[in-house]
C-alpha cells in the first residue's frame, strides 16, 4: 500500500524525540528503548489511519441496463441512449386521443405506455435520392416507380436521377426496397418504438418533435392550416423539400424531418390495436409486431411522421398510418442500427 507523504515527516520527528530524551534525561537505556517502541507504535497507528483507502460511493453500484459501452455514432447518424420513454398519444388540451377526435386513428395510438429501449443509432436525415441511387447501381435495390411521358422517363414527383434533387428524400419505393437499402448499408429499418423515441425524446410526451407549439412552415414541410397548398414550393412538380431544411423542427436528439416532408416506412407490421396487447407499463423491449396477425388479413406496414400534404394532426409524433407496402409519392424512409 502506498504511504502518505506525512509518514516520513512523522518518523523523523519521532526519531528526534527519542534522541532528545536519551541525551537530556538520565534514564536507564531500557527505558529509552521502551519509549522508542511506544513512539513507533503511535506512528504505525497514524500510518494505518492515513493510508486507509477512501470509501467508495455508497450508492447503487449496479451497472445500468442496456448497452452503455458504445462508441461514437456512425457518420450521418445520432445516438439514442438506453432508457424508458412514453409511447403513444397523451391527452392534452389540444388533443384528447379519442376515436371521435381522430377517426379510426385514435384507437391505434392508445394506451400511452412505457417502453424501455437499448441504445441505438438512427439516421439524422431521411434517405436521399443520391444515396438510394448507389444501392440501385450496386444491384441491391430497384429504382423508384416511374412512368413514361412523351418518351421521357418520369420519376413521380421526386426527380430521381437529377443531381439538382440528389439531396431530396427518395419516394415511390415499396417497403421491401426500403428494407433492402437499410440491409445493404448494414443497418435496418427502425421499429415503431425506435422511430418514436427518436422523434419524441424521453423527457415528456410532446405532441410534435419540437414540442407542443403548433406546426408552422418554419418547422416542417406540411399543409398548413388545411390550406390547399403546402409549405414547400412546387418546383417542377417536386413537392418535397431537401432533407434537413427545417432545423428548428428537429427532435430532442437532433433528428430531422420526423414530421412532414415524407412519412417513413418502419420495420413493424401494421397492427391497429397493438398497444392494447400489453399492460401499459409491461411493454416488451424493442417491440416489433411482425409475429401478430396483420390488419385486414394482409401485410400492412406502418408509416410514421406524416407527409408533405397532411395537416397538424397527421404529423403528430404518435400518428400511425397503415401504408400497405407499395410505393407512394408520400413515403420515404430512414435507417437505424444497433451498436
Examine the domain organization and report whether 14 and 93 are in the same domain: no
The three cell numbers of residue 221 are 414541410
Is the pLDDT score of 47 beyond 70?
Answer: no
pLDDT category at 5 given cuts 50, 70, 90 is very low
Task: Check residue 239 and give its pLDDT.
Answer: 84
Task: Check residue 233 and give its pLDDT.
Answer: 63
Examine the domain organization and report whether 154 and 20 are in the same domain: no
Per-residue model confidence as pLDDT tens digits over 196-250 = 999 999 999 999 999 999 999 999 999 876 565 678 666 667 789 999 999 999 9
Task: Check residue 50 and give its pLDDT.
Answer: 36
- Is 129 part of any domain? yes
Helix ranges (H only) for 25-159 are: 29-50, 99-102, 129-137
pLDDT category at 16 given cuts 50, 70, 90 is very low
Which is higher by pLDDT, 310 or 150? 310
Which is higher by pLDDT, 52 or 210? 210
Examine the domain organization and report whether 140 and 20 are in the same domain: no
Examine the domain organization and report whether 153 and 278 are in the same domain: yes
| DSSP one-letter code for 175 | H
Number of helices (H), then strands (E), in the chain: 6, 11
Is the pLDDT score of 55 beyond 70?
Answer: no
State how far Cα 288 lies from the chain centre: 16
% the chain with pLDDT above 70: 67
Core vs surface per residue 29-64: b (16+ CB within 10 A) or e: eeebeebbeebeeebeebbeeeeeeeeeeeeeeeee
Task: Check residue 97 and give its pLDDT.
Answer: 78
- Is 112 part of any domain? yes
Structurally, the chain folds into a number of domains equal to 2
Examine the domain organization and report whether 19 and 147 are in the same domain: no
Is the pLDDT score of 317 beyond 50?
Answer: yes
- Rounded to 5 degrees, φ, ψ at 113 are -145, 155
Closest CA to 114 of 250, 208, 205: 205
Judged by average pLDDT, the poorest of 48-57, 165-174, 198-207, 272-281 is 48-57
- For the domain that residue 204 is a member of, what is the CATH number? 3.90.1580.10
pTM across the whole model? 0.76
Q: Which H or E run includes 197?
A: helix 192-200
The secondary structure of 35-58, three-state, reads HHHHHHHHHHHHHHHHCCCCCCCC
- Is 180 part of any domain? yes
Task: Check residue 59 and give its pLDDT.
Answer: 32
- Is 66 part of any domain? no
Q: What share of the chain is helix, strand, coil (3-state, %, to 5)?
A: 30, 15, 55
Q: Count CA within 13 A, CB hemisphere, residue 227.
A: 12
The three cell numbers of residue 282 are 409491461
The three cell numbers of residue 261 are 416532408
Closest CA to 259 of 309, 305, 204: 305
Is the pLDDT score of 128 beyond 90?
Answer: yes
**Rounded (5°) CA angle 266-190-196:** 85
Pairing of strands 120-123, 331-332: unpaired
Judged by average pLDDT, the poorest of 27-41, 100-114, 133-147 is 27-41
pLDDT category at 42 given cuts 50, 70, 90 is very low
The three cell numbers of residue 288 are 416489433
Instruction: Tell me the mean pLDDT in the region 305-317.
Output: 90
- Is 168 part of any domain? yes
Examine the domain organization and report whether 46 and 139 are in the same domain: no
Can you tell me the distance from the alpha carbon of 97 to that of 107, in angstroms, rounded to the nearest whole number?
A: 8
- Is 1 part of any domain? no
Examine the domain organization and report whether 45 and 161 are in the same domain: no
pLDDT category at 146 given cuts 50, 70, 90 is confident
Examine the domain organization and report whether 217 and 269 are in the same domain: yes
Examine the domain organization and report whether 179 and 126 are in the same domain: yes
- Rounded to 5 degrees, φ, ψ at 268 are -70, 150
- Is 55 part of any domain? no
Three-state secondary structure call for residue 99: helix
pLDDT category at 157 given cuts 50, 70, 90 is low
pLDDT category at 13 given cuts 50, 70, 90 is very low
Can you tell me the distance from the alpha carbon of 126 to that of 309, in angstroms, rounded to the nearest whole number?
A: 17
- Is 21 part of any domain? yes
Residues belonging to the chain: 339
Per-residue model confidence as pLDDT tens digits over 79-114 = 999 999 999 998 888 887 766 556 555 678 888 999
The three cell numbers of residue 89 are 398519444
Examine the domain organization and report whether 277 and 313 are in the same domain: yes
Examine the domain organization and report whether 179 and 44 are in the same domain: no
Which is higher by pLDDT, 321 or 3? 321
Can you tell me the distance from the alpha carbon of 33 to that of 62, in angstroms, rounded to the nearest whole number?
A: 52
Judged by average pLDDT, the poorest of 1-10, 94-103, 138-147, 151-160 is 1-10
Examine the domain organization and report whether 320 and 279 are in the same domain: yes
Q: Count CA within 13 A, CB hemisphere, residue 265.
A: 31
pLDDT category at 184 given cuts 50, 70, 90 is very high
Task: Supply the range of the domain harboring residue 320.
Answer: 77-337
Amino acid at each position: 500500500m502506498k504511504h502518505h507523504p506525512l509518514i516520513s515527516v512523522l518518523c523523523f520527528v519521532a526519531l528526534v524525540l527519542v534522541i532528545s530524551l536519551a541525551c537530556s534525561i538520565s534514564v536507564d537505556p531500557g527505558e529509552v528503548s521502551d519509549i522508542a517502541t511506544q513512539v513507533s507504535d503511535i506512528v504505525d497507528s497514524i500510518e494505518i489511519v492515513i493510508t486507509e483507502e477512501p470509501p467508495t460511493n455508497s450508492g447503487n453500484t449496479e451497472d445500468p441496463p442496456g448497452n452503455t459501452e458504445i462508441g461514437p455514432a456512425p457518420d450521418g447518424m445520432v445516438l439514442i441512449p438506453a432508457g424508458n420513454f412514453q409511447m403513444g398519444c397523451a391527452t392534452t388540451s389540444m388533443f384528447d386521443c379519442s376515436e371521435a377526435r381522430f377517426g379510426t386513428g385514435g384507437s391505434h395510438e392508445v394506451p400511452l405506455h412505457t417502453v424501455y429501449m437499448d441504445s441505438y443509432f438512427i439516421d439524422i436525415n431521411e434517405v436521399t435520392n443520391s444515396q438510394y441511387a448507389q444501392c440501385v447501381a450496386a444491384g441491391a435495390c430497384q429504382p423508384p416507380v416511374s412512368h413514361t411521358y412523351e418518351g421521357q422517363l418520369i420519376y413521380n414527383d421526386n426527380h430521381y436521377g437529377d443531381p439538382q434533387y440528389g439531396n431530396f428524400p427518395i419516394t415511390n419505393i415499396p417497403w421491401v426496397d426500403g428494407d433492402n437499402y437499410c440491409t445493404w448499408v448494414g443497418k435496418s429499418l427502425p421499429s415503431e418504438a425506435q422511430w418514436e423515441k427518436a422523434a419524441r425524446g424521453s423527457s415528456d410526451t410532446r405532441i410534435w418533435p419540437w414540442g407542443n407549439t403548433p406546426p408552422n412552415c418554419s418547422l416542417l414541410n406540411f399543409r398548413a392550416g388545411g390550406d390547399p397548398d403546402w409549405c414547400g414550393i412546387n418546383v417542377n412538380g417536386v413537392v418535397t423539400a431537401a432533407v434537413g431544411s427545417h432545423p428548428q423542427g428537429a427532435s430532442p436528439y437532433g433528428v430531422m424531418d420526423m414530421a412532414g416532408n415524407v412519412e417513413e416506412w418502419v420495420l413493424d407490421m401494421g397492427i391497429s390495436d397493438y398497444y392494447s396487447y400489453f399492460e401499459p407499463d409491461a411493454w416488451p423491449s424493442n417491440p416489433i409486431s411482425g409475429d401478430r396477425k396483420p390488419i385486414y388479413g394482409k401485410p400492412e406496414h406502418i408509416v410514421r411522421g406524416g407527409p408533405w400534404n397532411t395537416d397538424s394532426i397527421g404529423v403528430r409524433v404518435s400518428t400511425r398510418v397503415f401504408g400497405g407496402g407499395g410505393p407512394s409519392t408520400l413515403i420515404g424512409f430512414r435507417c437505424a442500427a444497433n451498436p
